[in-house]
A and B are shown apart, each in its own frame.
Chain A
Amino acid sequence: MNSEIVKALCASCEGLSTSVSDAALDGLAQEVDYRAREVIQEALKFALHAKRTSLTTDDVDRALKLRGAEQTYGHQHGGREVFFSRPRDDSLFPGVSFFEDKVESLDDVLGSHAFPDLPRDRGVHLHWLAVSGTKPLIPENVRVKRRRKNEEAPGALGAELEDGGKAAGGGGGGGSGGEGEDQDWVSSGNRATVLEAYETNVGKGSRHVVSAELRSYFKTVTEAVLGTSSSADTREGSQEGGAMAGEGSADGGGGRLVPVLSSLSRDPGLQPLLPYFCAFVLRCCGSQGTKKVFTSLRACDDLLALVSALVDNPHLTWERHLDQVLPVVITFLVRKTLGGPGEDHWATRREAARVLKRMCAKLGAEGSRAALQTRVARTLTTGGLSDASRALTTHYGAVVGCRALGDAVCENVLLPRISTYMPLLGEALTPQNMNPLQQYEAYQVLEALLGAVGGLVHRSEYNAVLGSFRCKGRSGEEILAAGASDFRAPEPKPVEEAPAAGETAATAFNVRPSKVMSVKELGSSGRGRRVLEWFDVREPGGGGIEQAEGEGAAQGLEVGLSFDLEVNNFALMPTFERGNIVVHTFDVFGEHVLPFLSSDLVATTL
């Protein structure tokens, strides 16, 4: 406010224009300036306490009222306001900002029937800004273009499922049903735009806010998992129209499971659903569902696959939910019976071990690995291995689990217990034991044990041994020619792996492409294939030794191919002996004498 402005104001008033002196104008200008600032200061306080960063005419009015002055009229705040930082780019009136008021004729306003809609009612929308410190990737949090009318809103989630549904439609008889459901899903996803999600009602505190999209996603996933497991479920049948019951629906479900799982393992926005999935898995294995799930190996596999996919998802943070799921996985690992008779539950156990390993790895990335590993290992050994009364299957699971947890666990947890455990196993393995199933199980445990220990020793000795190998084993033929006696190996590895010869040696042929043994032959044996898995992880160098043990291999192959009891006994006897040797070896190994092991020992083994 300078005297010019005051002068102009005076001039606009009748009868004042001439009578005011310059000094008076000057003083007046200063006074006016002060008063104006005073009002603005008060108005700013009102803006501050209305928690606004912009000043409105209402604020100025309130400030005037507070000062006992008359408020301004005709400048009511109409939703538009001047921001303080408003750029002034008008060259005509520098420093002046003003509104352009549009002139509208009354007729137009009255004539047009398009009155604006009533304003929406005030509402509250809740969402998680952070869950245990991490920001979930939900639409409310992600800084993206708003997805109000977005047709692809559920796209990222839905595409996979849709594909899956279509694939199922092409393949199985229940395809049409599956696809219809997927379409439903998509449309429900469309409906659940962001705005609608706002209306989702929410529980207090500990309850998650789950949008309609996520809820139907959850539904789809759980149905896919349950659907495959209950192959001829009536519920499934009724859902798909009754006609497509049985195999068709199972196929449909099976087709859907794969995309579901791949979506689960990749989708970034699933954090809010994680507790629900955990609860789902728990419920499936809980008290009510026990029978149903554990008697069907397929259900186990599917659940495991679900957990596995969730663990694989790099966007999920597990820390707090792990405790819920871990027992389930361990149950899969060490439960006495899994699936029906004759089913290959060993594979499921191995898969569970792999999942366990990944969980530990994941938690390792999240920073509490050591504690978890120790805990799991403790559970496995105290609850499983060192309890003689447990079933052999449980022991198997414990061994496999330890193995999956890594060398350190094997060495520290498994090794010290082997010497006490082997006699126990030996009882089951003796030919006097006439229970073939038990023997078979014991055999499996032994196999796992040897796999674990052998792998450990192999890896720990690998470097030392490799050199000597390179010198000796120029080629498979040479080795064969040199004969078994040439293997006076200072290396313990053959000693360890020899007992496994029953099967392992056979696979060794398979591992090495130069071998004459046909893959098919081995492939026909399910067990052979399994053993193959063991050896996949080992270094190919290991194969060289087993080659020499062709006889053992032949035996193992026989064992694998036929279930003949006699053959089994025949094969197991030497195996057991060798097993004992392993134990001794390891006792020795603990004292670091192993490298000096005499060739006699090797000879006996062979």
Chain B
Amino acid sequence: MATLRSGSGASDLDWVVIQYLHKNQCFEAEKSFLKHLASKRGVDVVPPKQQVLQDDYLKYLVMSKLFPESVEGEASYAASFRELYNFVVGLIDIYREDLQRLLYPIFIYCLLDLIYLQKAAEFKEFFDSNCALVEDLAAPGRSEELQQLRKLRSEQDIDHNPVASKFWHSRAGVGVSEQSFDLLTRFLHDHKHYNIVRILHERLNVQFYPGIPVRSKLQPISIEDAIPVHVKEEAAATNAESVQLGLLPDAPEEKVVMTQEEIEGCTQRDRELLKETSSKKAKRTRALYFGNDKKVKKSIPMLDLPDEISEKLKREVGQRERVCRERLPSICCATFLNTHRMMTAGHMLANEVDLAAGFEDSSIQLRSLKPAETRDEMEEEMMDLMDEDEEEAGQAAVPPGRSIELVGHSGPVTSLSSSADETILMSSSCDSTVRLWSLELKKCLVSYKSHHGPVWGVSCCPRQPYFATAGWDGTARVWSTEHPKPLRVLVGHLSDVDCVCWHPNAHYVATGSSDCTVRLWDVATGGAVRVLTGGHKHKVCSLACSPNGKFAASGAVDGSIALWDLGEARLLGQFSAGGPVWSLDFDRYGSMLASGDAGGLVGLYDAGAPEPCKIVSYETKDTPVYNVHFSRTNLLFAMAEFGGR
């Protein structure tokens, strides 16, 4: 496979000449031409033996130089670019990430070529059809350039338009790996997209490095001394949409009274928010969810929580402890033993008495946290000392001290989630199904099949009967437990959707993907309302929405954690954990964030502070933490596997 190294200094036309001479064995002439090149331009040209241009391309080059209007294929800039785009986006991740940075400059040079060739109509068509594709790929701060370019009308405009002139008179520099560039040129030559090959060679200053793409070298393109980088918020059209992040009007935790002491325990920011929200009415009430007084109008049908459940919730909210920087929560760590590194997912059931664990051998295990009946006298005595009220609602799904195995999947269980009414457990698996388990019968009731490929994540809606799944096929799907097929298919992520979580008001779903972005989707319309970029440089593997509905947190494989303001689509803070972040959870007041990671750390972060920061991290004994969960009384549960990886 021959490629033309544009960095070598000679123009393509020179090469055509050299090659022509070489082919026709005019060695003397070739030699003198090379000498002329070297003396005149100071270019040291590699002998042509290693630089063999394909005949077709040669022909194209010569023709396009001599009779630019007559060259066929010229008209198909739009088609070529479209094909190139599809090719690049369809590549596997490492190459795609490398090559998709080239798309933006190629797009711009296509535009400029069209203007140069005075094809205004085509220019417009090309711009309109492909602008949306490129916008996503443009490096931050560059999306404005497109608006500038849109104004171009004729060749003369190029010099007057700052953006266009910069591109026109200089080469866009970009570093790519040799391998991915080989892939690209092979594709372009195979499909005869010579117009793009030419842009690649003449317009771009491509720096190669050997081997496969390296993540650290994925710098955005640079125009030599080019446009001052407008570092502004990426004002993507989607992020301008308004979202209703208020809570449901009948949230059971709404009418809880805060005592004065609790209010005193609030952080400064909380207090400010509190002032706003509770200035008029009774000072001590409400404001459990600081600063989110708005209510969302139910726009999708949903079931109300059963009475006994909402009663229980209300009761437990009353016992809730305030946690903040000064009052850290207690953490109870459940370590799974003798699992032989087979554990893949951990989840605390909604009754907060039982644990569920998914295993690589396709099984799910339910375990009770309650002690077995056979506790010895000593313990009995000590329990009596604590004189606790034993009026626990007997909702435990598992007999105390026992475990129950749920068998049904035919692939590793990737994620578990239980419904708020404590009757249902959902599980997703690599066998591309999602199963619904009845916690009363301990049996599988339904198997939902729609995803193409493994299902990576499942999350139950805070209100029945919905749930959402995330899959390998790059889609997230919203289902109703009543229907065998999904109600919504959420398409938009460029790669696998790895995790999914519901917004507390049940109208939105947040997804995290291998394309390093987090998206928020409107369940009613199925469209993306937020695209959160710039927080991660690696696959997003965990997500959490704060109970007040205002914030979201995402954790990535490289251990980075990002805190987002959903309303403003803004990055609030970034933290780092000890390894891939397997799980995140907000405390029930939404002021503290907990993370569990592969490095065996449980981290606590101050999410309520004006400047979010890490508070502390607790080390387990090298047991990776798969799940962290704040109970309704704000006790933090962590699930870890002994003998971790």
Given the known inter-chain contacts A122-B339, A123-B338, A124-B355, please indicate yes or no for A201 contacting B372, CB distance below 8 A.
Answer: yes
Point out the residue from B335, B365, B369, B620 that lies within 8 Å of A204, measured CB to CB: B369
Q: Does the CB pair B339–A133 fall under 8 Å? A: no
Q: Can you pick out 17 interface pairs between chain A and chain B where the beta carbons lie within 8 Å of each other?
A: A30-B186, A33-B179, A37-B212, A41-B94, A48-B541, A51-B598, A52-B341, A53-B598, A53-B645, A62-B411, A126-B332, A129-B620, A130-B331, A203-B371, A203-B383, A204-B370, A218-B382
Q: Does the CB pair B352–A46 fall under 8 Å? A: no
**Known A122-B337, A130-B328; 10 more pairs at CB < 8 Å:** A30-B1, A34-B95, A79-B340, A120-B338, A124-B336, A201-B370, A202-B369, A206-B388, A207-B388, A210-B379
Output the residue of A48, A49, A207 with the most chain B CB within 10 A. Answer: A49
| A292 CB contacts on chain B under 8 angstroms | none
Q: Does the CB pair A283–B385 fall under 8 Å? A: yes
Q: Does the CB pair A50–B344 fall under 8 Å? A: yes
Q: Does the CB pair B403–A122 fall under 8 Å? A: yes
Q: Does the CB pair A126–B334 fall under 8 Å? A: yes
Q: Does the CB pair A275–B386 fall under 8 Å? A: yes
The answer to whether the Cβ of B437 comes within 8 Å of any Cβ in the partner chain is: no
Within B143-185, the residues touching A (CB, 8 Å) are: 179, 182-183
Q: Does the CB pair A52–B620 fall under 8 Å? A: no
Q: Does the CB pair B327–A143 fall under 8 Å? A: no
| B352 CB contacts on chain A under 8 angstroms | 204-205
User: Bound complex: CA of A280 vs CA of B336, how far in Å?
Assistant: 33
Output the residue of B330, B472, B557, B635 with the most chain A CB within 10 A. Answer: B330
Output the residue of B343, B412, B580 with the most chain A CB within 10 A. Answer: B412
Given the known inter-chain contacts A203-B383, A205-B635, please indicate yes or no for A121 contacting B370, CB distance below 8 A.
Answer: no
Q: Does the CB pair B212–A51 fall under 8 Å? A: no
Q: Does the CB pair A129–B340 fall under 8 Å? A: no
**Chain B facing A: main interface SS:** loop
User: Bound complex: CA of A450 vs CA of B387, how far in Å?
Assistant: 44
The answer to whether the Cβ of B466 comes within 8 Å of any Cβ in the partner chain is: no
User: Bound complex: CA of A66 vs CA of B624, how far in Å?
Assistant: 28
> In the complex, which range does the number of interface residues on chain B fall in?
35 or more
The answer to whether the Cβ of B345 comes within 8 Å of any Cβ in the partner chain is: yes
* Contact pattern, A 95-133, Cβ under 8 Å of B = 1, otherwise 0: 000000000000000000000000111111111111111
B-to-A contact residues, CB < 8 Å:
1, 92-95, 179, 182-183, 186, 212, 327-341, 343-345, 352-353, 355, 360, 365, 367, 369-372, 375, 378-379, 382-383, 385-388, 392, 400-401, 403, 411-412, 414-415, 430, 453-454, 456, 472, 496, 498, 514, 539, 541, 557, 579-580, 582, 598, 602, 616, 618-621, 624, 626, 631, 633, 635-636, 638, 642, 645
The answer to whether the Cβ of A45 comes within 8 Å of any Cβ in the partner chain is: yes
Q: Does the CB pair A46–B454 fall under 8 Å? A: yes
The answer to whether the Cβ of A219 comes within 8 Å of any Cβ in the partner chain is: yes
Point out the residue from A26, A33, A283 that lies within 8 Å of B1, measured CB to CB: A26
Q: Does the CB pair B378–A216 fall under 8 Å? A: yes
Q: Does the CB pair A48–B386 fall under 8 Å? A: no
Q: Does the CB pair A49–B212 fall under 8 Å? A: no
- For A, the interface residue count at a CB cutoff of 8 angstroms equals 60
| A207 CB contacts on chain B under 8 angstroms | 383, 386, 388
| A134 CB contacts on chain B under 8 angstroms | 328
Output the residue of A38, A54, A201, A206 with the most chain B CB within 10 A. Answer: A201
Given the known inter-chain contacts A46-B454, A124-B335, A132-B328, please indicate yes or no for A201 contacting B371, CB distance below 8 A.
Answer: yes
User: Bound complex: CA of A51 vs CA of B626, how far in Å?
Assistant: 8
Q: Does the CB pair B1–A279 fall under 8 Å? A: no
Q: Does the CB pair B337–A49 fall under 8 Å? A: no
Point out the residue from B360, B369, B602, B642 that lies within 8 Å of A126, measured CB to CB: B369
The answer to whether the Cβ of A135 comes within 8 Å of any Cβ in the partner chain is: yes
Q: Does the CB pair B378–A276 fall under 8 Å? A: no
| B1 CB contacts on chain A under 8 angstroms | 26-27, 30
User: Bound complex: CA of A143 vs CA of B186, how far in Å?
Assistant: 55
